[in-house]
Structure formats: structure tokens, C-alpha cells
Amino acid sequence: MKRLLVLIISIAILSSCANTNNYDLVGVQPRSVFDDVQTWNTVFIPAGSYNMGPNDQDVPWAMTAESKTVSVPAFWMDQTEITNNQYRQFVYWVRDSIALQILGHGASQDPEQYQKLQNDFEEDLTIPIINWESTIAWDDVENRALFVDSGLFLKEEERFYRRREIDTRKLNFTYYWIDLKQAARKFNFNGEVRRSYDYEMNKYDGKVTNYSKGSNKGQQIQVKNRASYIMKDIVNVYPDTLCWVSDFTYSYNEPMTNMYFWHPTYDNYPVVGVTWRQARAFCFWRTQLYNSFMEESGEQTVQEFRLPTESEWEYAARGGLKESMYPWGGYYATNYKGCYVANFKPMRGNYPADGGFYPLIVGVNDPNDYDLYDMGGNVSEWTSNAFDESAYSFTDDLSPDYTYDALSSDPPALKRKVIRGGSWKDIAYYMQCGVRTYEYQDTAKSYIGFRCVRAYLGHDFNDESDGSNVY
């Protein structure tokens, strides 16, 4: 009995030491178990290698791509393009956040009290920026006057038939990120490619010092602290609905301008009229939205939504068919019955021949073998990469990624971003998996949308606990 008692005491002593000093390496305990689970409307794209580049003749002789073997890590990708209603959630969030700030974060409608709260916030980071528990009384007379005075509502001279409407020019979203590529340069950053920029003030926000591009071209500037790598951007989030008119000369598309983004009929159609910068801002907002919810639920906050790289997009579009010309496989834009399998411009401009005149509801046509919809046709899609004709030559074969965060003062050639997939107004050639083209980052088109991706955490695909069961 004494021996049994001594054994129990010894086990208890050893157990109590497990989390402190131990005679063996047990790591930091306890550690929570994390499973990278599937989020809504995303599909798992397994890691793999493929031949990136064209699979057919270069029809326009663009000479912007070559065949190159690359490898891509696993990631999650939106099954469909971001829809009007999904993007509208972003717009409404920005609208409501501005309204709550105008109302004094739900604390007071007294402008003096609101200013005091603003000053207190700058001194005390524990004070929340926005009180989302506060209800916005849009029809309150005092609130309406406050919204008009602050510029959130259109002023009287800009109203049409006396309608009280939000001034979409005020829907600006401010966000931040850390420039890891510049941080990887250790203690210096290059003044020529420094990308911290305050678009609202139209000047550099250098954190270390304010400077012009010319005076520091090619210089190495000393970094004093981590704040030097914290980047900032301010983006107006409302889509350019006038793109339906401006994109086409002598063409009647006014009904799409008036209805496409806001009318319930088009809720599940892909959002268009968004610039590359707006698409990137959406990704940052989605990241914060999801992680804030997970943090309140007591879960780890590890999700980071972003635009896909060019190599990720093409790999996903191929759907595991490494030599496939189109996302659905084969060499033609029709099936064995002669029916068109995507929304594009057939023949010499017979737009409705494929069942669509403008963009279609997302997911109407069949998905590819990765269960992704509309990777060819419907709307072209932004990627995260800058466009360079020789990018395939100098990028790495390990998850290639070429980025350049162009400023408004940069020449147009530096503002080109890669778009993929072809659209409802493009010929079949642009729907090929390996065809790349570009658009400028500050332009919005009626035929360009986007979808998001996020990295998959874990790479041991022999372990069933890490997501390999989603193959």
C-alpha cells in the first residue's frame, strides 16, 4: 500500500512539472489543436506543379508568356466570383461605420463630446473606434441634419427630385498592412520603391521622414522602427456604375448603369466596376471581419483573404488538367452537343448565343474539376500580380509572385495588373487558362470582377487531420 501511495505521489509531481522545467523536450504546453476548416463558399485547391503558360498559338502575337514549370502550395479559393450582394455588404459596412463615427460612436450626438472622444482615443487605445451595438436612426430629424452637415448625405443642390441619398464619394475605407518584402531587407528600405503613401493628402507618408520620389531615388534609407513598414491606403469603395456607359462607344447600356449594382434582380451576379485597389481593400476588410468574429468566439485568428497570384489563378483554372486549354478541358468552347459552355462573345458578336447577353448569375455553367465556377468567361478577374511582359523569365518557379504597389504619380506602365479568365464581351481566346492580359489598377470596367483566396495552413498531405480529406 505504501509503494502504491509513493507511486501516485511521484506521478503527481512529474505531472505538475510537465509545463515548467522537464528533463525532456515537450514544447510549450498546453497548445490548442487547430484545423484549417473550409469557410463558406470556398473550395480546397491541393498543392501541385504544372506547366504555366500558353497551350496554343499566341493569336495576337502578344509574346507575354512562355511555358514554365512552377509549383504552387495548397490554398482555399472562392467557388464563385464575388457577387453584387456580397460586395454590397462591404459598402454598407463602410457606410454604417462612417455614420456611427458621425454620431459620436454611439456615445453622444453632441459635436463637442464627439471631438473629446476623438481626442481621448488618440491618447487611449482601449477606447473603441466604433460602437457597433448602437442603432443608426436614419430617419431621425437631428441625425439627418447631422449627416447632411457632415457630407454623408447629398446636399440640396445635388439631390434629384428631392431624394435623400448617400453621397457615395464619402464612402472611403482606410486600411493598413505590413510590407513584408520591404521588411525582409532588414534595416534599410529602398527610397525608389517605397510604397507607403497617403492617397488622401497626395503625398508620401514616410513614417521616418517625408520626401519626394526624385530626391531619394535609389537611396537606402535607415529604418528606425517597425512603423516604417506599416502601409496605409484610403479607397473609395463604391463601384463605378458608369462603366457600363463609358466602356462602350455609341451603345445603349443605361439600364445596366441604373440597375446592375443595387437592384435585387442582380444580387447574385458578379460585381463589376471595381478597381484593383477596391478589390484589394475588400480582401483586407473581409480578413478583419472574419477574424473579429472568430476572436469573439474564442478561436484563433489566422485567416488572411487576398487576391490570388497569377500562378495560383491559372493552376486553379486548370482544375488538375495540366495540359488543358480551357478550364473545362478540351480544345473548344462547346460541348459534344455543340452547346456553348461559358459566357463569352461567340462568333462575330452573337452575344446571346451562349445564353447570356451581359454577365450571368454566378455558377450557371458547370464547374471545372476543382469545383470552381466561371474560371473562363462571365467576368475577367483581378489577380494580385503586377503585369510585366517578361515576368515568367525572372520570377521563381516556387510559387511565383511579382508585385509592385504603384503610386498615383507613377507612369501607367507601372500600374498594370494581371487579369485572367476572359469575360462576357471577350472572344474565346481570352478564356484559355494560359492567356494573360492586364488592366490599370485605378480603372473600373464592366467586365472585370474578382474572387478571393487564402493560404492553407499545413502541408503534410499524408496526415488526414490537416485537410487532406478534402481532396
Q: What average pLDDT does the structure give for the chain?
A: 81
pTM: 0.84
Contacts of 429 (CB under 8 A, 6+ apart): 59, 60, 422, 435
Question: For position 418, what pLDDT does the model report?
Answer: 97
Single residue among 160, 183, 201 that ends a domain in this structure: 160
Backbone angles phi, psi at 5, to 5 degrees: -65, -40
Question: How far is the C-alpha of 436 from the C-alpha of 62, rounded, in Å?
Answer: 9
Strand partners, 81: none
Report pLDDT digits (tens) over 257-290. Answer: 999 999 999 999 999 999 999 999 999 999 999 9
Q: Are residues 144 and 54 part of one domain?
A: no
Does the structure show a pLDDT above 90 at 437?
A: yes
Give the mean model confidence (pLDDT) for residues 357-361: 96
The rounded radius of gyration (Å) of the Cα atoms in the chain is 26
362 within some domain: yes
Q: What is the DSSP string of 319-359?
A: TT-TT-SSTTSSSSSB-TTS-B-S-S--TTT-GGGGT-SS-
Contacts of 358 (CB under 8 A, 6+ apart): 256, 260, 424
Q: Are residues 451 and 408 part of one domain?
A: yes
Q: Are residues 129 and 51 part of one domain?
A: no
Q: What proportion of the chain, given as a percentage, has pLDDT over 90? A: 49
1 within some domain: no
Does the structure show a pLDDT above 90 at 306?
A: yes
Higher pLDDT: 406 or 357? It is 357
Residue type, 102: I
Least confident of 25-34, 220-229, 334-343, 413-422: 220-229
Contact call for residues 395 and 401 (beta carbons, < 8 A): yes
Question: How far is the C-alpha of 34 from the C-alpha of 167, rounded, in Å?
Answer: 44
Does the structure show a pLDDT above 90 at 468?
A: no
Residue whose cell numbers read 457600363: 244
Does the structure show a pLDDT above 80 at 213?
A: no
Q: Are residues 282 and 216 part of one domain?
A: no
Question: For position 208, what pLDDT does the model report?
Answer: 36
Question: For position 357, what pLDDT does the model report?
Answer: 94
Give the mean model confidence (pLDDT) for residues 291-319: 88
Question: For position 217, what pLDDT does the model report?
Answer: 47
Question: How many domains is the chain partitioned into structurally?
Answer: 3
3-state secondary structure of 461: coil
Give the mean model confidence (pLDDT) for residues 408-421: 91
Report pLDDT digits (tens) over 41-52. Answer: 899 999 999 999
> 340 is in which domain, residue-wise?
44-83+274-471
Q: Are residues 397 and 329 part of one domain?
A: yes
Question: How far is the C-alpha of 357 from the C-alpha of 252, rounded, in Å?
Answer: 13
9 within some domain: no
Least confident of 256-265, 287-296, 375-384: 287-296
Question: For position 122, what pLDDT does the model report?
Answer: 52
Q: Are residues 466 and 399 part of one domain?
A: yes
Q: Supply the CATH number for residue 345's domain.
A: 3.90.1580.10
33 within some domain: no
Single residue among 190, 217, 236 that ends a domain in this structure: 236
Q: Are residues 282 and 183 part of one domain?
A: no
Question: For position 410, what pLDDT does the model report?
Answer: 83
Q: Are residues 184 and 129 part of one domain?
A: no
336 within some domain: yes
Q: Are residues 292 and 143 part of one domain?
A: no
Q: Classify residue 309 as left (phi > 0), alpha (psi -120 to 50) or beta.
A: beta
150 within some domain: yes
Question: How far is the C-alpha of 268 from the C-alpha of 79, rounded, in Å?
Answer: 13
254 within some domain: no
Q: Are residues 458 and 429 part of one domain?
A: yes
Question: For position 138, what pLDDT does the model report?
Answer: 86
Contacts of 186 (CB under 8 A, 6+ apart): none
> Among 77, 42, 148, 2, which residue's Cα sits nearest to residue 318?
77
Report pLDDT digits (tens) over 152-210. Answer: 888 888 888 878 888 999 999 999 888 888 777 665 655 444 444 333 333 333 333 33
Question: For position 352, what pLDDT does the model report?
Answer: 93
The pLDDT-based confidence of 224 (bands split at 50, 70, 90) is low
Question: For position 178, what pLDDT does the model report?
Answer: 86
280 within some domain: yes
Contact call for residues 446 and 272 (beta carbons, < 8 A): yes
Report pLDDT digits (tens) over 131-147. Answer: 677 788 888 888 888 88
> Among 203, 209, 212, 215, which residue's Cα sits nearest to residue 227?
209
The pLDDT-based confidence of 447 (bands split at 50, 70, 90) is very high
Q: Are residues 222 and 282 part of one domain?
A: no
Question: For position 392, what pLDDT does the model report?
Answer: 92
Report pLDDT digits (tens) over 64-102. Answer: 778 899 999 999 999 999 999 999 999 999 999 999 888
Question: How far is the C-alpha of 222 from the C-alpha of 238, rounded, in Å?
Answer: 38
Q: Are residues 281 and 389 part of one domain?
A: yes
Give the mean model confidence (pLDDT) for residues 309-317: 96
Single residue among 181, 206, 236 that ends a domain in this structure: 236
Contacts of 137 (CB under 8 A, 6+ apart): 143
